[in-house]
Amino acid sequence: MSLYSREDERAIRTQRRVEDWTQSRLLLPEQKEQILPMLRVDLRRTNRFLRITLFIFGFMVVNAGAGLVAVFLDFDESAFKYLALLAAAACLFGAQSLVTRHRLYHFGVEEAIAIAAVSFAAVFAATLASGRFSTVLAIAAATAGAWALFVRFGYPYAAIGAVVLAPGAVFTFDQTDTVRRLMAFTLLLTIFFLSRERRLDHDDEYPGDVFGRMEAVAWGGMYLIANLKISEWLSVPDGVALFYWGTYAVIWMLPAVGLTIAVRERQRALLDVNIVLAILTVMTNKPYLGVEQKPWDPILFGLTLIGLAVGLRRWMANGPGGSRHGFVGERLLASEAERVALAGSAAALVPGAPTHADPAPAIGGGGESGGAGAGARF
């Protein structure tokens, strides 16, 4: 089904690992030079910046082209959907041709055309029933299209997009919030188990790595739907007391269970998602209970996180061989340090000292721009 062989996908991932191991000084550069030719694949690739730029321009050209055809042919509304269908088919064919003829692999341009195919298919599905735009069909088509892209082109983000889009259709149903949330939760739980099963078949090797991310995203989606305090924008809760307190129990259970699974199976994506979920649970605990938040809440929260990080690091370092069951606090790979360094560089875009969100009269004047402590309130 896929345009790329599993062997090629795995070789590309192993190449990345070899680069990382060399930068981490686990391999010598001479060893890397010996290994990389053994992992060579007959595919054209590029770096991430050119890939993103090619994607942006490719997507723009395809959509402008479709718009131009529509303007020239001066369609009436009923013919519009057929243009969308034609455009979807043409884009899919075009993207496949670029891969089969020119051997492009995640090159940006063919990705843009493939994604445009899905968006055109969604437009076609939405306008299939005459006289109205069907959001359910649009989301369903987009979900199916995203999944098809993953199967055919192997894009991990398409698989994740399918997981994110799938429950979206449920929220268009003319049902109460409780029913919709329960349906969406069940759907995501099903996706979680299916992804998990597929991941366990392959472990960390492709496509198991993608299924691992799908599993984590589905888990995070279940939490988002369960936590009524952070998903009011998705659907306004209808105030069923039993459901409300049921979700309160669930938002504590999900991170606890998720962390247990992630630690036991050493699944990075699931671990990271559940750390975020645990933090969200603590942050939304008081709003859930209807208790007023106090200034010492973030102080205690911050101190707890710092204490937890330091305590964990020491506990692991004091274990036999500087680890606990293989878990270590220090970095093992150069890529881990790069991720932290990237976060450090990105911190330039984050304002300095955050202030309490409640509107309060300013003691004095305040700054307008970002930067440390430049808020209007002290």
Partner 1 sequence: MTTLERLDEWRALGIISELQHATLAALVRRERFSLFVELNALLYIGVVSLVGGLAWAFRDYVDDLGDAALLSILVLIVAAAFGYCYKRAPPYSNSETESPSLIFDYVLYFGCLMFSSTLAFVETRFGIAGGWDTHLLVASLVFGALAYRFDNRFVLSLALSTLAGYLGLTLSLFDGLSADRLRLAAFSYGAFLLGVGWVLHRQAIKRHFLDVYFQLGANAILLAALSGILERGVGLVYLAALLLFAATAIYLGVRYRRFAFVAYGTLYGYAGFSVRLLSIVGDATAGLLYFVVTGSLVVIALVVLARRFGRDE
Q: Which is nearer to partner 1, 175 or 355 (CB)?
A: 355
Return the number of the residue (157 or 244) whose C-beta is nearest partner 1.
157
Could you tell me the CA-to-CA distances from 135 to 10, 171, 236, 333 in Å, in that order?
A: 37, 10, 19, 45
DSSP 20: H
Q: What angle do CA 289, 283, 216 make, to 5 degrees?
A: 115
Please say whether the beta carbons of 195 and 211 come within 8 A: yes
Smallest separation, CB 65 to partner 1 (Å): 5
Which of 136/271 has CB closer to partner 1?
A: 271
Q: Which amino acid, one-letter code, is at 129?
A: A
Cα atoms in the 13 Å half-sphere on the side-chain side of 142: 20
Nearest distance in Å: CB 274, partner 1: 10
Q: Which is nearer to partner 1, 50 or 200 (CB)?
A: 50
Q: Number of residues in contact with partner 1, rule: CB under 8 A?
A: 108
In the complex, what is the shortest distance from the CB of residue 46 to partner 1, in angstroms, rounded to a whole number?
Answer: 4
What secondary structure letter does DSSP report for 44? Answer: B
Peptide bond into 351 cis (omega under 30): no
**Does residue 256 interact with partner 1 by CB under 8 A?**
no
Least separation in angstroms between residue 311's CB and partner 1 is 10
Amino acid in position 34: Q
Query: Structure tokens of 139?
Result: 């989301």
What x-and-dash track marks residues 179-198 binding partner 1 by CB under 8 A?
Answer: --------------------
**In the set 53, 78, 97, 260, which binds partner 1 (CB under 8 A)?**
53
User: At its nearest, how many Å lie between partner 1 and the CB of residue 282?
Assistant: 10
Q: What is the CA radius of gyration of the chain?
A: 25
Q: Is residue 78 part of the contact set for partner 1 (CB under 8 A)? A: no
The reply on whether position 255 binds partner 1 by CB under 8 A is no
Q: Contact with partner 1 (CB under 8 A): which of 73, 320, 348, 359?
A: 348
Q: Determine the Cα angle at 77 with ends 75 and 82, to 5°.
A: 70
Q: Which is nearer to partner 1, 135 or 304 (CB)?
A: 304
Structure tokens at 287: 């709003």
Least Cα distance to 93 among 63, 107, 113, 79 occurs for 113
Which of 76, 77, 290, 296 is the binder for partner 1 (CB under 8 A)? Answer: 296
Smallest distance from partner 1 to CB 124, Å: 20
Residues numbered 301 to 340 that lie near partner 1 (CB under 8 A) are 301-306, 308-310, 312-313, 316, 323, 326-333, 336-337, 339-340
